[in-house]
Structure 1
């Protein structure tokens, strides 16, 4: 049986649009990050929570797309579809990171030009598989499991969640899934409140502490999204795309809460966002309708560029971060033209990647992965 012949269900256009909104905020977060003097002064302070929102969206969409199809779908067919969707842009992101590696001349990476080409190529090839590299192979010095394209750490955990779903969790009853989600929520709540930094950041280094954070940040939102896809009864929310986008922006731009003296308050805020508010936003988005053709086009465009933007923007951010580090003391007022140029370049690169590479690559994979 050819699992690629299983018809694709209609998308939720508003959820597509919200994924694009979150991806844009991620780019803004990464552009403001090198200008912040500390985690308390970051302008897009909670932008990293977009990753947790992505996991929730992913779990919801996976549940909607596949939960009722396992009588016609094999595990191999499921993974072929996921590889077709995820892998081309992982490969492109790693390639772009490798191409730009030696050109990011900065005091942040003093040893970058001493890395032999063979090691760079080896790290790139491992990156194509999205498997993490050990710290001994870190060629940038930031202790990243993917030093050529930092954001790929979340794709590593995305694959773990997909494996758990296909092999095991898809067979859970709604009650069993609810118990799993409740346990994951408690673990996430504990992490958020006890974190040394007062937040849930982490997951991008191959060590015990970061793997714990990465798994904790993945398990609750992904499987909460899956549970939501099973139990949610659609309602009707007017102007859902506008209100959901506004809420995402408010939550992710929210300044640091509690200050240095009450770090747990910020952790509590983040736990509430991930455990309660993000599912509410996804529910509203899934229940809403696009109100006019313009909104439909906006949602479609944002949905299409969301994943390409996420996967190709960071190679450009490396150049931007290098420039910031070589101009110490620069302010946002001085840096904004360069930030805007990087942001615009990321949008353009994402769209070109989508049309010239990702869509053709997926068509080829769809035809040949049988």
Structure 2
């Protein structure tokens, strides 16, 4: 396969893919909610929803390659790109880290044990890890996960942004991308003791694999999109439903009945690019549903939803020990898991389960709405203005010379 020409691709906005990002963020939040509660819905598929993170990686690879593969030609372009990407992801991470620090200080003040038992070991909120996680070094295997645990994937994505930006600068960019992807897949399989469930323990390789597959997916889309658009809408409708069925099967067989991962999970970075390629055309019935405004808005909030939900989970669990809320939240059960004793919400009664799940998701979406508009958008725009000013000043300098 030869790379596409350097002619700029007409800019599209993939609304259905945006919606998928929001859906996956919510599914990851639901996964963690189910994982740390005793309920009647903890089936194999729900245990494997952690693989939605790999859909993020693939989707990021597709979108970043679509937007930047012909726009990074030198170190100056790379710097501008890096500033924009850091301005996109880091400010919210910083804000949530200090919010979590405040929560942990409150926990210690009230002698509340819950965040140390729900989803965390006693070393998770070790202050020595705080600066390391703050600097997003938590996907390189230097230390075990800590603080806002989902942020490991942001660390991994930031690594992928830079690695693939160097590949974009090469003449034979597609060959470099394929090479990076193959090497990353090999390291993921070789380093993991839990199949695809590689996180703080070298999760950067897992991300590079998925990101690379998404990038390759874009080149396929770019090369064959004219021919594929001639296919009938019925064919796309069948393709969308078929890939969804395949994903469900993959999720179902990616874990055992006991919740342990299987080698089937390695199919995630292979199946998800096919889904991205199909839904990029937005021709099927599922795509039409995904283009509904509320789902697109969830897509806009997806980064906030993904980053906020863990803190909301911990805050709710901590609230059990505050007198005014104690009698309005579920009780806890002590459950052995991962070699430790963890506390899980007792939500075996279906009515209480759905009420508390709704409360959790509503809080996550409301807080994400605030963080999106007050942190994400302002700092994203600030980074863009900063890059524009640098380019403007350089242009003025060249003219004056």
Structure-1-length-normalised TM-score: 0.76
Whole-angstrom distance in 1 between the partners of 2:58 and 2:19: 15
2:79 to 76, 85, 88: 76
Structure 1 partner of 2:374: 356
1:226 to 199, 203, 215: 215
Structure 2 partner of 1:106: 113
Structure 1 partner of 2:301: 305
Q: 1:61 to 1:294 in 2, by over 3 A?
A: closer
1:88 to 86, 91, 103: 91
Structure 2 partner of 1:64: 66
2:361 to 343, 348, 354: 343
Deviates more, 1:70-79 or 1:89-98: 70-79
Kept after mapping to 2: 8 A contact 1:60/1:227 = yes
Q: Does 1:314 align with 2:310?
A: yes
Q: Which residues of structure 2 form unaligned runs of 5+?
A: 1-7, 321-328, 335-345, 391-401
Structure 1 partner of 2:181: 181
Q: 1:103-252, aligned counterparts within 5 Å?
A: 103-104=106-107, 105-107=112-114, 109=116, 120=127, 124=130, 126-132=132-138, 143-144=144-145, 146-147=146-147, 149-168=148-167, 170-171=169-170, 172-188=172-188, 190-191=189-190, 196-197=193-194, 199-204=195-200, 210-211=201-202, 214-232=203-221, 233-234=224-225, 235-236=228-229, 238=233, 251=247
**3-state DSSP of counterpart to 2:381:** helix
1:295 to 267, 280, 291: 291
Q: 1:259 to 1:126 in 2, by over 3 A?
A: closer
Kept after mapping to 1: 8 A contact 2:17/2:280 = yes
Q: CA deviation at 1:23?
A: 0.6
Q: 1:245 to 1:351 in 2, by over 3 A?
A: farther
Deviates more, 1:241-250 or 1:13-22: 241-250
Q: CA deviation at 1:298?
A: 3.6
Whole-angstrom distance in 2 between the partners of 1:31 and 1:25: 10
Kept after mapping to 2: 8 A contact 1:93/1:312 = yes
Kept after mapping to 1: 8 A contact 2:25/2:303 = yes
Q: Does 1:22 align with 2:24?
A: yes
Paired residues, number: 339
Whole-angstrom distance in 2 between the partners of 1:284 and 1:22: 17
Q: 1:30-45, aligned counterparts within 5 Å?
A: 30-35=32-37, 41=43, 44-45=46-47
Encode CA deviations 1:236-284: one digit per residue, 9 max, x unaligned: 47497998599569836944557379978x322x122322x10110001
1:327 to 319, 322, 332: 332
Question: What is the CA RMSD across the aligned residues, in angstroms?
Answer: 4.2
Structure 1 partner of 2:273: 279
Q: CA deviation at 1:95?
A: 2.4
Kept after mapping to 1: 8 A contact 2:93/2:307 = yes
Query: Which of structures 1 and 2 has the bigger CA Rg?
Result: 2
**3-state DSSP of counterpart to 2:291:** helix
Whole-angstrom distance in 1 between the partners of 2:238 and 2:295: 11
Structure 2 partner of 1:259: 256
Structure 2 partner of 1:53: 55
Q: 1:343 to 1:247 in 2, by over 3 A?
A: farther
Q: CA deviation at 1:62?
A: 1.0
Q: 1:364 to 1:245 in 2, by over 3 A?
A: farther
Encode CA deviations 1:70-118: one digit per residue, 9 max, x unaligned: 24861111101111211222122212212222345225628x9x99x9x
Q: Which residues of structure 1 form unaligned runs of 5+?
A: 1-5, 205-209
Structure-2-length-normalised TM-score: 0.70
Encode CA deviations 1:279-329: one digit per residue, 9 max, x unaligned: 110001212259769935244312211111111111111134555996116
